[in-house]
Structure 1
Amino acid sequence: MAIRGERMNSLRESLGVTPDPDFDMKLPPGWSRRAVDEQTFETMVSGLKRRLMQEHKPELYTETRRLLKRSFDDMRQNGAFAFFVATEQAPSTLWMPASMVASIRRPEPGSSLDDLARNLIVNHGATPLLGDVRTLRYEQEKTIRLGAESIVSRTVTYLIPVPGSKRRRALQIVGGLSTPVDMPADDPYVVSAKFLFDSCASTVTWHAPVQ
C-alpha cells in the first residue's frame, strides 16, 4: 500500500519558501498515514472508547487515553508531522503494537548532514539501509516504566536527505515498538518488526517539488 505524503513544512510555505517535496512510502496491509493534530487525536480517542466498550473493558479507557495523549504530546514536542499505524478494521490488517513516525531533522548550526552522519556512525553504529548509502539506519533501546511495570522501547531510525535541501534537512522516520523486558533482541518478533520497518523505509520515493 503506497501512501502519498503531504507537504512536510507548512511554515516554510507560509514564509514564501519553496516547500519540501512530498514522499511516498509503502505500508503493511491495513496501515495508514495520520497527521499529528488534534483532530486525529480525537478521532483515535473515539475509536478507542468504542472498541473498549465493545470488548467490555471500560475500565481501561482512562489509562489508555492518557498514554495516547502522552504519545501525541511527545510527537509534537519532537516535531513530528505524520505517523503510520494499523487503522483499518479488516481481516488482512497487520495488527501489532508498533508505529512509524516522520519528522524533519536538521544538523546543529554550522554543521551539515554529513557531520551528523559521521557522528551517528561513530557513536550509534549507523549503517546504510540494506546497502543503500542514501539512507542511514541506526537502532536504540531503553527501559521505561509504565505504572508498576517496565517495558523496553526499541526504535529504528532512518535518515534520508530531502531533495533540494542542499543536505541541510533530512526526512527522519522512526519505527518503534515496545516489548517485555525479558524479550531478547534476537526474539523472532523483534527481528520481524525491524525487518518490517526496514522494508517500509526502503520504499521511500520523492515527488517533484511544488512550484
Structure 2
Amino acid sequence: MNDAKPGPDDLNPQPERLSLREQLGGTPDPLFEITLPTGWVRRDANSAQREELRAAMRDRLMRAHRPDLLARVQPLVDDAFDKMAKESVIAFFTPETGDDDALALPASLVASLRHAPVPGENLDPLIRSLIREAGATPLLGDKRFLRFERETTQKMDDGEFRQTNVVYLTPVPGSDHKRALQLTATIVRPVDAPADDRPFVLMRALFDLCVSTVAWKPAVAATA
C-alpha cells in the first residue's frame, strides 16, 4: 500500500479492472444473489437500462398528461446513471416499474466492486481502518459482512433532508481479499425525524436483512 492510510473516505469504488485471468479468458468473479423487498428488481447499470427507464418514465408521464415534466425528470435519470458510472456501480435495485404492489421506500440500494488500491495487495488495511475510524461491525454478528453508517444533511430546492448511507462490504470468494462486493443503501428522512424514528429504523433493519441473504454462485467461464 502507499504511505497514505486508508480511511472511510476512501470507500468510493475505484474503476473496475479486469484481472489477468479474465483478460486471458479465465473464470471471472462469481455472481451474487440477494433477496429484495417486495416488488423490487435488480437492474444493470448500463446504457440499455438507462434508455429503458427513460422510455418507461416518458410513457408514464404521457399517460398522466404531464409531458411538461419530461424536461425535469429525464436529466435526473441521466445524472443518476452518470454518477453510478463514476462510482463503478454494477447493479442497482428498485421497485419494478408499474407494479402497484411493490414496496415504495424513500431509499435506494446499489452494488459496486471494491479493488485493492495497489495491484497485488489486499483490502485488509482499509477494513482495519473502517473498524477503527468508522465503527464498522459485523452485520448481524456475521463476520463475512462488514457494516457501517454515514449520515449527512443534504439540500434540495428550498428544503433539507437527512441522508443515511448504510455501507456493507463482503469479500469476493477466491479473490484473497483483493476485491470486495460493496452494497450501499441510501435512506432519506426529514431533518426533524430523529434517529429512532420508527420508519427509519424499520428501513435500516429491512436492508440489513436483505444484505444478509447475499449468496454467491459460480460465473460462467469466458470462451473464445
Contact 1:141 1:154 survives alignment (8 Å):
yes
Contact 1:10 1:19 survives alignment (8 Å):
no
Segment of structure 1 superposing worse, 153-162 or 184-193: 184-193
Q: Which of 162, 167, 176 is equivalent to 2:172? A: 162
Q: Which of 175, 188, 193 is equivalent to 1:183? A: 193
Q: Secondary structure at the match of 1:84?
A: strand
Q: Residues 187-202 of structure 1 correspond to what in structure 2 (within 5 A)?
A: 187-202=197-212
Shift of 1:45: 1.3
Contact 1:31 1:88 survives alignment (8 Å):
no
Q: Which of 149, 152, 157 is equivalent to 1:142? A: 152
Instruction: Say which structure, 1 or 2, has more relative contact order (CA 8 Å, 6+ apart).
Output: 2
Distance 1:33 1:15 in 2: 29
* Cα separation, partners in 2 of 1:191 and 1:149, compared to 1, 3 Å: same
Q: Which of 99, 120, 124 is equivalent to 2:134? A: 124
Q: Secondary structure at the match of 1:26?
A: coil
Q: Secondary structure at the match of 1:158?
A: strand
Distance 1:57 1:98 in 2: 25
Aligned-residue identity in percent: 43
Per the alignment, residue 220 of structure 2 pairs with 210
Distance 2:170 2:201 in 1: 22
Which string of whole-angstrom CA distances, capped at 9 and with x for unpartnered residues, describes residues 78-99 of structure 1?
0011111111433431122322
Contact 1:20 1:162 survives alignment (8 Å):
yes
Shift of 1:107: 3.2
Distance 2:208 2:185 in 1: 9
Segment of structure 1 superposing worse, 66-75 or 53-62: 53-62
Per the alignment, residue 6 of structure 1 pairs with none
Task: List alignment gaps of at least 5 residues for structure 2.
Answer: 1-15
TM-score, normalised on structure 1? 0.87
TM-score, normalised on structure 2? 0.82
Aligned Cα root-mean-square deviation (Å): 2.0
